[in-house]
Amino acid sequence: MSKKEIHKGGCLCGKARYETNGNPERSGVCHCRYCQLRTGSSFGISIYFKDEDVKVISGDLREYKYETESARDVTVRFCSDCGSSLFWQVGSFKGMTGVAGGSYDPPSFWYKIDREVFCRSGAPFVSTNIKEKHKTHPDYKPVNTENNVLKGSN
């Protein structure tokens, strides 16, 4: 695959469209509670590119910011019409944009996944063939207690 290969994707309603340039810098499947709540599914797929390799073509994106228990600031961008979350940036991962792996046009899953993280909260009925697996994350250092939203107790 050439470095300049363009892949396109977008949201559920079709108003937000984007393209990414080349191969990802990093990719992962994440079973953390944030990804579960963001997607409503059991895991998120994060395909990271340098910011300049992600181009928004159309759509009206809104932002939602939160801080994880590791004190990482995360900004999620989602379509203001249909709510599909398409992109995110993590404060500690400067200059990189995460793209929601399921939002690519078919054949959607053109990329390779490097690793699987936060397996501790994964659904028992999901198993993958990804070799590198982590209970949490290699850089996981919680400094705050988990938000009650994550436990469903507020």
Where do contacts with Zn ion occur on this chain (CB under 5 A)? 11, 13, 15-16, 30, 32, 34-35, 79, 81-82
Residue 67: Cβ within 10 Å count: 13
Kindly state the smallest distance separating residue 115's Cβ from Zn ion, in Å. 12
30 vs 96, beta carbon nearer Zn ion: 30
25 vs 69, beta carbon nearer Zn ion: 69
Kindly state the smallest distance separating residue 124's Cβ from Zn ion, in Å. 18
49 vs 118, beta carbon nearer Zn ion: 118
- Cα 49 from chain centroid (whole Å): 11
Q: Which long-range contacts (CB under 8 A, 24 or more apart) does 141-146 make?
A: 141/70, 142/69, 142/70, 143/69, 143/70, 143/71, 144/67, 144/68, 144/69, 144/70, 144/71, 145/69, 146/33, 146/69
79 vs 99, beta carbon nearer Zn ion: 79
Kindly state the smallest distance separating residue 137's Cβ from Zn ion, in Å. 8
Kindly state the smallest distance separating residue 3's Cβ from Zn ion, in Å. 27
Between CA 119 and CA 38 the distance in angstroms is 17
